[in-house]
């Protein structure tokens, strides 16, 4: 009889909804946030992670493209801080210059020195 009551109590414990305070599942770790930023950047550049990163050590700065990307990220942040934040005009991001290509390939129709 006691065993049946104990089993019933355990079953109720597992079947009852959890009424304890739950932490919001929308809180993302720093690593998850960084991964989202990297995925966005790779899509804007039209590349995969291996274009800039060493797959054996993602924090390694041995690749030239990694170093260039870090500098471009600084430039992009300067542009955002200067007002290109997407609120009143364009938003500075990788796509602004790269248009889905690792190396931007755009030329002005008329060379700037020849403009009147």
pLDDT of residue 18: 52
What value does the mean pLDDT of the chain take? 80
Does domain 30-105 fall under CATH 1.10.468.10? My reply is yes
Residue ranges in the chain modelled with pLDDT below 50: 4, 6-16
pLDDT of residue 114: 65
Q: What is the 3-state secondary structure (H, E, C) of the chain?
A: CHHHHHHHHHHHHHHCCCCCCCCCCCCCCHHHHHHHHHHHHHHHHCCCHHHCCECCECCCCCCHHHHHHHHHHHHHHHHHHCCCECCCCCECCHHHHHCCCCCCCCCCCCCHHHCC
**Whole-prediction pTM:** 0.64
Residue 103: alpha-carbon gap to chain centroid:
20
pLDDT of residue 94: 92
pLDDT of residue 104: 86
pLDDT of residue 5: 52
pLDDT of residue 42: 94
């Amino acid at each position: 009889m006691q065993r049946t009551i104990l089993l019933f109590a355990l079953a109720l414990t597992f079947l009852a909804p959890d009424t304890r305070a739950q932490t919001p599942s929308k809180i993302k770790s720093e690593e998850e946030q960084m991964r989202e930023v990297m995925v966005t950047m790779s899509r804007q550049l039209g590349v995969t992670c291996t274009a800039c990163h060493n797959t054996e050590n993602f924090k390694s700065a041995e690749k030239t493209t990694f170093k260039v990307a870090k500098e471009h990220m600084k430039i992009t942040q300067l542009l955002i801080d200067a007002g290109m934040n997407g609120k009143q005009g364009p938003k500075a991001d990788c796509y602004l210059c790269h248009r889905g290509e690792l190396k931007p390939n755009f030329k002005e129709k008329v060379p700037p020195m020849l403009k009147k």
